Amino acid sequence: MVEKKHIVTAFDEDLTTLNDMMARMGALAETQLFASTEALIARNPSDLDDIIKRDKELDDLEAVLNEKVIEIIALRAPRAVDLRRVIVALKVASTLERIGDLAKNIAKRNKVILDTTLKTQTLPSIRTMTSMVLKMLNQALDAYIDVDALTALNVMEADIEVDKLNTVVFQSLIEEMSYDPGQLKIGPHLLFVAKNIERIGDHITAIAEQIYFLHHGEMPDQDRPKADRSSSIALS
């Protein structure tokens, strides 16, 4: 949707500022997630400390964005697509902040994992999950700027694969831990790491729904695609 300019140019400037803030938050969230998984694989704990500290930046960015949204509502009285954009910005920012929190949690758990010896085969899958989710995030952020509902729908579809992969990782980890009970002290952390990545995927799907709403003025009809069967796997 290519939007024409507002008569009041300050309004356009405000919306551009909002987009910039969103882009910055998105980039930061991407970095956080990528870095934490890479640090695990490269066995580099110092990076993890940086990640944990940097989460505050994301929180601050969200606070600033909130302020901007409130300002726009008070001063510009946005209507129609402008109103939707502004409300969606609020929700997407909050979601990005939560993604950041999840990335921080991943980093924390990775620290613990690196401190010990973990024997697992699931790392490549986890890496794959991470890159899938990163791609989703990247697409979603572009779709937000462009108000591209079609890409948003694709993003929602992609989450299915992430969920499937998470189910596989879950099963593998359970098998590994039941094979080597010594791993029980550290295995669950990895479970959580994988789960967090899957949850990030779900959040990105929520972002995609908002983008669809921004474009069409209505939420998408279908339920959020869920293919995560991990909650129904019996543990024996």
Partner 1 sequence: MKRDGDMMLSTPKIKSSGIIVEYDGKRALHGIDLDIYPNEVTALIGPSGCGKSTFLRCINRMNDVIDNCKVSGRLMIDDTDVYDPEIDVVELRARVGMVFQKPNPFPKSIYDNVAYGPRIHGLTENKDDMDRIVKKSLKRAGLWDEVSERLDDKALGLSGGQQQRLCIARAIAVNPDILLMDEPCSALDPIATSIIEELINELRERFTIVIVTHSMQQAARVSQKTGYFHLGNIIEYGETNDIFTRPQNEQTEAYISGRIG
Interacting residues toward partner 1 by CB under 8 A: 3-8, 11, 77-84, 216-218
Which C-beta is closer to partner 1: that of 8 or that of 227? Answer: 8
Angstrom distances, CA of residue 93 to CA of 90, 147, 174, 182, 186? 5, 16, 35, 41, 33
How many other C-beta atoms lie within 10 A of the C-beta of residue 170?
20
Burial class of 235 by CB neighbour count within 10 A (0 to 12, 13 to 18, 19+)? exposed
Which C-beta is closer to partner 1: that of 27 or that of 77? Answer: 77
Which C-beta is closer to partner 1: that of 12 or that of 47? Answer: 12
Spatial distance between the Cα atoms of 168 and 187, rounded to a whole number of angstroms:
15
Which C-beta is closer to partner 1: that of 43 or that of 79? Answer: 79
Nearest approach, Cβ of 93 to partner 1 (angstroms)?
21
Which C-beta is closer to partner 1: that of 68 or that of 195? Answer: 68
Nearest approach, Cβ of 147 to partner 1 (angstroms)?
13
Sequence-separated (6 or more) residues with CB below 8 Å from residue 50: 35
Nearest approach, Cβ of 135 to partner 1 (angstroms)?
31
Residue holding tokens 């909650």?
Answer: 231
Nearest approach, Cβ of 112 to partner 1 (angstroms)?
48
Q: Are 152 and 212 in contact (CB under 8 A)?
A: yes
Which C-beta is closer to partner 1: that of 23 or that of 81? Answer: 81
Nearest approach, Cβ of 10 to partner 1 (angstroms)?
11
Nearest approach, Cβ of 221 to partner 1 (angstroms)?
16
Q: Are 155 and 205 in contact (CB under 8 A)?
A: yes
Sequence-separated (6 or more) residues with CB below 8 Å from residue 85: 15, 18, 78, 147, 214
